[in-house]
Structure 1
Amino acid sequence: MSKGAEDAATLWRPVGPAELELIRKSGMRAFPPRLPEQPIFYPVLSEEYAVKIARDWNVPASGSGYVTRFEVRRDFLDKYGVQEAGGSAHLEYWIPAEEMAAFNEAIVGEIEVIHEFR
């Protein structure tokens, strides 16, 4: 955990190779802006859920999938409710695309890649 972790929540984000490249270009500090067809950014609340998406969806779609782990200030997340996406184990935040800059500013430390699937 990074400094100030007591005031931050750990989240995960499954990504494909194109999104990971953009994260790397940010110095592992930010997620890229959403595309027009992506009005919401969905960080998830469990590593297991992120693994399932990266392995079962990203790999067939793009040949590889990655799970990122990062921390976000709780005071930022408090304004968003946790959403259930098809089951009690599938919990995520829904961050509107226009709030991505503020979300990225609320990230504490670096975004880490913790799993890779091919």
Structure 2
Amino acid sequence: MDAKSTIAALAALAQPTRLQTFRLLVAHEPEGIPAGELARLIGVPQNTMSAHLSTLSQAGLVTGERQSRSIIYRADLNQFRAVALYLLKDCCGGNVSLCQPLIEDLACCTPTPSLTRPN
């Protein structure tokens, strides 16, 4: 990941409909959503959704796969992870304690093994 790619990804997400689209695609991983369904769910015309998906795709945040007459879009979570890591690396100038609150906030997103209680 480099600065140019990171800026492109952030610029693509810096628009309400595109951010909403990306979040919806993340929520529907790994099956994805057809472009027409995305437009319907978000409430925009299909040609508008197509333009937004093109921007997200050029930024590497979504991929499209043709299935019959539809294109199924999916969030590219590896690219999103690379953007986040690019932003976080050396964010604290080597002072890990400055990033600790962020790490703790992110920990709530990771699944934890279920604890079994003794009978």
Structure having greater relative contact order (Cα 8 Å, sep ≥ 6): 1
User: Which of the five TM-score ranges fits, normalised by the shorter chain?
Assistant: under 0.3
Structure ranking higher in strand proportion: 1
TM-score normalized by the length of structure 1: 0.27
Structure ranking higher in helix proportion: 2
